[in-house]
A and B are shown apart, each in its own frame.
Chain A
Amino acid sequence: MLDNVKCECGHANPVGTTLCESCGAPLADGTAANQKLDMRYEGAARRSQVYQKTIVDRVWNFFSSVRNAVIMIVLTLIASAIGTIFPQERYIPVPKPAEQYYPEAYGTLGLIYYKLGFHNLYSSWWFIALMLGIGISLVICSLDRVVPLYRALKKQRVKRDKKFLQIQKVNAELDASGKDAEQLAAALEESLKKKRYHVRREQNALLGEKGRFSRWGPYINHIGLIIFLAGCLMRLIPGFYLDQYVWVREGQTVPVPETNYYLKSVEFVKEYYQDDEFPEKLDLDGVVVKEYKTKAVLYENENASIPGAEPKLKQVAQHDIQVNHPLKYEGLLLYQSGEQENQLQALNLKLMDTATKQSLGSVKLDLLSPAKEVKASKDVTVQVLQYFPDFALDENKQPITKSTEPNNPAFIVNTISPKTPNGEKQWIFLGNTLTADGKEPIITYAFAKPDLVDMSGLMVRKDNSIPVIFFGAAISMIGLVMGFYWQHRRIWFQTEGDKLLVAAHTNKNWFGVKNEVVKILEANGYHISAAQLEKEAKQS
């Protein structure tokens, strides 16, 4: 099925080759004399250009096309931009559900945006499909090109067919009559070596080459990107990725969700810059935060197999968690994320005999887990009969609690004292009290400053794919640097009769290679300008 294309020099080339693998001469059914020379893959046959028969081939060819890859890149670009028109769902600034927020805030456009799913654009199936498409293209584009390129560069011969040299972008035919071919070649070799070219010689033909490694740059870059994307995909492996959030009050120990760890906040500290810490006098509307951190202790629960069992905690880590300095322990990461200062922790109440104004002691009512009975003093006991952390009245005007957060605490207490041996029931709200019959109580409760604590919001993270992701990024960078900061330059010198044939090729920066050729020739007695070297612009 395969027809080989035979070159004049006798070598049989695979079909699709445009320049003979052996001598470089343009092949009859490859590059015609007036067709533009394509040196990108040394004229080697790229499979996708040749085989187009089966479905496997067609899929392969689709993904190996740079045009298709660019289309996918541009589509991704446009799609990403669309996702910034309105804030994505996770960045909605008010606590409203998405289906309410978008039409309310942005009208019809907002509604359309929401209905099309653009509020969650970056995790939608089609966006992920686009990125996977780019990933597949990265793999296949690279495989399709790097293999023939590598082979071609490895196999390349020093002595080339005259026609090969003549069709190069930079080439010249100089007069070498009267010169000794061998001496000339030796001199040119010296000049090339001075310019750090690696020189190969075949009789009197020279090939000076440097920077070949930079040709692999793009492929290494692509490999890096593939590793990067693979790292992102690895998040789907169970156990590899954790994305949770905890709120913890000062002094409180809370479980870290989806792990066997517990976290305690010892203290939340927030500091502001003092005036003397500013280098300049500033006209600020507010104050500038200097630092804020949660002094945290991490425990491991050794009794974690059955939920609800009493945790047996062993301290494993301690750290001041602040922005840029998360707590790190065995792959678990805790980041300082949010804060809510001055949260109600407990009410402090002073009891007083209403009639005699005599003080009867004081009680502390905890708002998270109130005790059933608290002693105010030797013979005064406060019984907590009912507790509503988030007090409200339902539609039947019955007292209920809206949540478990102490946003609006309300107690029903029964005060047992010498004057109230059978108890006196009272409502205690935030700031005022109420008796059952509305009259003056025998025992009055006065409010002292409540216990306030700061609450820290910590982001819980586990990401085993991070090393892979950053490794891929590093490889990608190496590839970029290799490919863009060095160039692959080749200069051929060949004597044919009494002519010296010069040709040069580079993958980028023709300006530089032309200058080098000019300098080398000048060192050997030939004066030619860079413009004269590049004839292609003037011809055709």
Chain B
Amino acid sequence: MKTRKITRLFVLAVIVLAVGWTFYTAYFKDKTTVQVGKPVPDFVAQQIGGEKVQLSQLKGKAVVLNFWGTYCPPCREEMADLNRASKEFANKDVVILAINVGESEIPIQSFARQYKLDALPLLMDPARAITRKYQIGQMPSTFFVRADGTLYKHIVGGPMSYKTIQDNMQQIVP
């Protein structure tokens, strides 16, 4: 009699665990690679008019990663503000990296000329390798990363107001 009870309990427990795990993994588990508080993935990218930049070598500085494209209207709108913020935080150890998604050099360069982006480093990701790693969907997509490499905040969409940019950059100043 006791064995009957134990057997049943065991079988049902196994089933409950399996079902629970299924539902959890299918519907609730967070599958993003970039999460607040966790380190963001490293990458290397070619800078327009410069050399290659590797994220991990900027350790000690806070970084703002802004994924954008010239084909994305809200991205275009916030570029000037990002450029301005770049200047403001230049000696506060906070760097903005504007990572272009999927375009070739010419459109990016002429865009930089047209919008007078003299202080904003523009990085290229023509094959979208970095974009995919960061699971970018909607653009612009901005990651505010602390000096230790962990994510402080992720803002999707835009354009961000200058105040938003400024406040968040202030939060990550090392």
Q: A interface vs B, CB < 8 Å?
A: 1-2, 47, 51, 54, 56-57, 59-60, 125, 128, 132, 136, 139-140, 143, 233, 236-237, 254-255, 257-258, 306-309, 368-370, 372, 384-390, 394, 400-404, 412
Decide yes or no: A372 and B105 within 8 Å by CB, A139-B11, A143-B11, A236-B22 being known contacts: yes
Decide yes or no: A308 and B105 within 8 Å by CB, A56-B9, A390-B71 being known contacts: no
4 extra A-B contacts, CB within 8 A, seeds A307-B44, A370-B106:
A128-B22, A140-B11, A387-B107, A403-B71
Judge whether A128 and B126 touch: CB under 8 Å. no
Once the chains are docked, how many angstroms separate the CA of A107 from the CA of B19?
Answer: 38
- In the bound complex, residues from chain B placing their C-beta under 8 Å from that of A402 are 71
- In the bound complex, residues from chain B placing their C-beta under 8 Å from that of A388 are 107
Q: B interface vs A, CB < 8 Å?
A: 1, 4-5, 8-9, 11-12, 15, 18-19, 22-23, 25-27, 41-45, 54, 69-71, 73, 76, 102-107, 110, 125-127, 129-130, 132-133
Judge whether B129 and A255 touch: CB under 8 Å. yes
Name the distance in Å between B133's Cβ and chain A's nearest Cβ.
Answer: 4
Q: Which DSSP category, helix, strand, loop or mixed, fits chain B's interface?
A: helix
Name the distance in Å between A409's Cβ and chain B's nearest Cβ.
Answer: 11
Once the chains are docked, how many angstroms separate the CA of A262 from the CA of B125?
Answer: 16
- In the bound complex, residues from chain A placing their C-beta under 8 Å from that of B110 are 385-387, 412
Name the distance in Å between A68's Cβ and chain B's nearest Cβ.
Answer: 15
Decide yes or no: A386 and B106 within 8 Å by CB, A2-B1, A255-B127, A400-B70 being known contacts: yes
7 nearest CB pairs, A to B: A307-B129, A236-B25, A308-B43, A307-B133, A369-B104, A404-B102, A386-B110
Closest A-chain residue to B111, C-beta based? A386
Once the chains are docked, how many angstroms separate the CA of A274 from the CA of B158?
Answer: 56
Once the chains are docked, how many angstroms separate the CA of A412 from the CA of B107?
Answer: 11
Decide yes or no: A56 and B106 within 8 Å by CB, A255-B129, A307-B132, A369-B126 being known contacts: no
- In the bound complex, residues from chain A placing their C-beta under 8 Å from that of B133 are 307
Judge whether B15 and A136 touch: CB under 8 Å. yes
Closest B-chain residue to A48, C-beta based? B8
Report which of B15, B18, B71, B129 forms a contact with A401, defined as CB distance below 8 A: B71
Once the chains are docked, how many angstroms separate the CA of A57 from the CA of B42?
Answer: 54
Name the distance in Å between A264's Cβ and chain B's nearest Cβ.
Answer: 13
Judge whether A307 and B41 touch: CB under 8 Å. yes
Once the chains are docked, how many angstroms separate the CA of A9 from the CA of B23?
Answer: 53
